[in-house]
Amino acid sequence: MKKLAAFIFVMVLGLALITYIDGNVTKFAQGELGEVSEKYIDKNVNGDNQEIIYGETKNAETGSANIVTSIIANYRSFDTLGEVTVLFISALGIALVLGNSDKKRMSLDFKPNFMLRVGSKSLFAIIILVGISMAIHGHLTPGGGFPGGAMISAGVLLLYLADDNFRANIKSFKLLEGVMGSLYVVIGLVGLYTANYFLINFMNTGVVGELFSAGIVPVIYVIIGLKVGAELTSIIDDFMTGEVN
C-alpha cells in the first residue's frame, strides 16, 4: 500500500512538473524570466540586419534559441566530443584504480530512517525529470546535456546516501554510456558523408523556439546528457563500493 501511494504521488508530482515546464518554456527562452539576454533574442544574422524572431524565424543557421548551445553543440561540437571523451577517460581511470568484480556497498556511518528512504525516492523522481527536461530543452533554454546529466547522477547519489542497501545496475549504465558515445560519433560520420564535414548540422533547423528545431543540436544534447549521467553514476558507484574481504 505504501509503495502504491508513493507511486501515485510521484506520478502526480511528475505530471505537474512537466506541465509547468512545458507551459513556461517559451517565457524562459524569450527572456521574460530573466534567463536569456534580450539582445540575443533580437540579434542580427551575419550582419545583414535580418532579425531572428522567436517562434517565427525558419531555417536559421543553428536554429537554437540558446547561444551557448549554438556554440557547444554546433560550431564546436567536435571539441565537445573531446570533452565527453575526457570525462570517459577519467571514469575509466577511476574504475581501473577502484574497480573490482567482487565489490559490495560500503556501510554508512548512520542508519537512514524510513522517512529519509521514502522521501529520497520521491525527490529522486523529481531530480531525474528536471535533468531530462534540461537536456531535452537545452537548445531553447539555459541548460543542456552536461548539467542535465549531472543532475541525473546527483539523483543516483541521493539514493546511495539515503539507503545503505541501494546499488545501481552499473552494467546497464556502462552499456548506456557506450551506446551514447557511439551514437555521437555516428552522427558526426553521417554529417561527414552527407555534407563533407564531421558533425555538421545536416538536419533542417526548423523554427527557432520550437521543441523540434535546431537540427541535430537537441539530439546531441540528449546523447550528452545520458552519457554524462551514466559516466558520473559509474564514478559514484566506484567510490561508494569496496572490495569484499
Per-residue pLDDT reduced to its tens digit, 153-202: 999 999 888 887 788 888 888 899 999 999 999 999 998 888 888 888 88
DSSP line for 109-170: SS---HHHHHHHHHHHHHHHHHHHHHHHTTTTSS--HHHHHHHHHHHHHHHHHH-TT----H
Residue whose cell numbers read 556502462: 174
- What is the domain count for the chain? 1
Q: What is the pTM of this model?
A: 0.77
Cβ-proximal residues to 212 (8 Å cutoff; 6+ apart), any chain: 206, 218
Once rounded to an integer, what is the mean pLDDT over residues 102-131? 79
Q: What range does the domain containing 104 cover?
A: 2-243
Distance CA(73)–CA(139), nearest Å, equals 9
